[in-house]
Amino acid sequence: MQDLAHFIGGRRVPGRSGRFVDVYEPMTGAVRARAPLASSDEVREAVANAVAAQPEWAAVNPQRRARVMMRFVEIVTREIEALAKLLACEHGKTIADARGDIQRGLEVVEFCIGAPQLLKGGYTNSASAGIDIWSMRQPLGVAAGITPFNFPAMIPMWMFAPAIACGDAFILKPSERDPSVPLRLAELMIEAGLPPGVLNVVIGDKEAVDALLDDAGVEAIAFVGSTGIAEYVYTRATANGKRAQCFGAGKNHMVIMPDADMDQAVDALVGAGYGSAGERCMAISVAVPVGQSTAQELLQRLGPRVENLKVGLSTDDTADFGPLISKQHLDRVRNYVALGVSEGAKLLVDGRDFKMQGYEQGFFIGPSLFDEVEPQMRIYREEIFGPVVSVVRADNYKDALALVDAHEYGNGAAIFTRAGDAARDFASRVKAGMVGVNVPTPTPLAYYTFGGWKRSVFGDLNQHGEDAFRFFTRTKTVTSRWPSNVREGANFAFPTMS
């Protein structure tokens, strides 16, 4: 078993707080490492390193900052197999899924290579007599990111890549459950040419989070996690005068219309509902068949597919999904399935008692499928974050749309149909930040932004895309007039362009 360390000032720094947390291998249930939990003093040390390094980094022109991103993409691509194995070992997702985690993060880094274009301001010559006006985007200073366990490569890259490309320094506080990949990514950024101190990684719990939220050296906070904590982080950060973007839970619906290609819909639902053991904020956890005949056809095809899903080791190329992240989370998901039964939902497939032969201490659970789920049930209202799909029947399209809109979360929603008018109406009217039309998990590509609506988000700007460059910079506007031989005297009227 190894002891992990923080990454501060371009090197690994052992924890000094005396507090540690075990990092598990979900396949076996064994402890594979100890991670230090940073004290507030250690967080302040990381912030001080970032504050000291940021001005020189901000003075590097955007083209050269982009070259660091280019080299980082090359290095991570070279190291992707080793990173994927490390990620799978510590998180539990399959290696194929881990590669996708890394690749989707790299796509945002690739987008950030366009920083010279994305950071351009505007210019107006002769906006008024002898007056020119131009705007510029300037770095904030130091930003921090608090990331969840479920995407230990992708979400850190979604945060630190645009911040660093903008000229900011960055403090990353990854999940203490699987911090090894974020630490390795920071080392690879140094290899790519990033100066020490521009990217720091501190492992920690609430003490570290609160230290980041309260430190005057941190100008902005980005967060992804549960809604309760997202609201807490947003409230405390903004109360301290910081810019904040905080993303919370999701309960993503997939509406299946009577004219849908049912084979396509079932394939999509199985992959989006059970992939990565349901530990995705964009997982489809609610299927909404429209009409009783649609529901019957869906369940006739869906039930056998769910029963035959292969739960396996993270290293098994034929496995559909692997174990959950921890014993605590395994118990939580099992309890939700039991709750659904007690609430009166019909449990068609029960995965609670699944055991992996030879790995009985691993955090494995099989897939579960509920029918006849009602909107008042907790298994419908709350994010389970496991391989559990609920079927909520709707009599017609109007009722299906109203069901989606009434939910407190609004990350993503999808519709499966052959009718262009229904798809267009759904995309226009549904109250969700990301919409799929015959696409189950509508996660936008890197050059669009990612973010939900309602209580799935706190803050005005989304992740990646152009919003990231807005979030991690300040706009400054300059109005300029050079002296001439003509003196007009003092003018006490409010200035206009007339």
Give the residue carrying structure tokens 């109360």. Answer: 239
Instruction: Spell out the alpha helix ranges (H) of 196-261.
Output: 206-214, 227-239
Of the candidates 463, 371, 442, the one whose C-alpha atom is nearest the C-alpha of residue 157 is: 463
CA distances from 22 to 17, 31, 79 (A): 15, 6, 26
For residue 494, the 8-state DSSP code is P
- Domains of the chain in start order, with CATH, are 2-248+456-476 (3.40.605.10), 252-437 (3.40.309.10)
What pLDDT is recorded for position 489?
A: 73
Give 283 or 490, the one with higher predicted confidence.
Answer: 283
pLDDT of 87 > 90? The answer is yes
Q: Do 257 and 421 contact (CB within 8 A), yes or no?
A: no
Rounded to the nearest integer, the mean pLDDT of the chain is 96
N residues, the chain: 498
CA torsion 148-149-150-151 (nearest 10°) is 70
Q: Do 417 and 372 contact (CB within 8 A), yes or no?
A: no
What span, in angstroms and rounded, lies between the C-alpha atoms of 207 and 214?
Answer: 11
373-380 long-range contacts, Cβ below 8 Å, gap at least 24? 373/286, 373/340, 373/345, 374/343, 374/344, 374/345, 375/403, 375/406, 377/340, 377/343, 377/344, 377/345, 378/336, 378/339, 378/343, 379/336, 379/337, 379/339, 379/340, 379/343, 379/345, 380/251, 380/286
Mean pLDDT across 64-89: 98
Record the tokens describing residue 173, joined without a space: 């506080």
What span, in angstroms and rounded, lies between the C-alpha atoms of 204 and 211?
Answer: 10
Record the tokens describing residue 114, joined without a space: 């366009």
What is the DSSP pairing of strand 6-8 with strand 11-13?
antiparallel
What is the DSSP pairing of strand 123-128 with strand 457-458?
unpaired
What pLDDT is recorded for position 487?
A: 67
Tell me the pLDDT tens digit for each residue of 129-173. Answer: 889 999 999 999 999 999 999 999 999 999 999 999 999 999 999
Mean pLDDT across 276-281: 96
What pLDDT is recorded for position 124?
A: 93
- The question of whether 281 is a catalytic residue gets the answer yes
What span, in angstroms and rounded, lies between the C-alpha atoms of 99 and 105?
Answer: 10
What span, in angstroms and rounded, lies between the C-alpha atoms of 385 and 281?
Answer: 8
Tell me the pLDDT tens digit for each residue of 222-264. Answer: 999 999 999 999 999 999 999 999 999 999 999 999 999 999 9
Percent of the chain with pLDDT over 90: 94
Asked whether the CA dihedral 3, 147, 78, 99 is positive or negative, the reply is positive
What span, in angstroms and rounded, lies between the C-alpha atoms of 179 and 155?
Answer: 12
What pLDDT is recorded for position 484?
A: 73
Tell me the pLDDT tens digit for each residue of 328-373. Answer: 999 999 999 999 999 999 999 999 999 999 999 999 999 999 999 9
Percent of the chain with pLDDT over 70: 99
pTM score over 0.85: yes
Mean pLDDT across 287-301: 98
What pLDDT is recorded for position 498?
A: 62
Tell me the pLDDT tens digit for each residue of 403-459. Answer: 999 999 999 999 999 999 999 999 999 999 999 999 998 899 999 999 999 999 999
Tell me the pLDDT tens digit for each residue of 10-30. Answer: 999 999 999 999 999 999 999
pLDDT of 88 > 70? The answer is yes
By CB atoms closer than 10 A (0-12, 13-18, 19+), residue 338 is: middle
Instruction: Spell out the alpha helix ranges (H) of 382-451.
Output: 397-406, 420-429
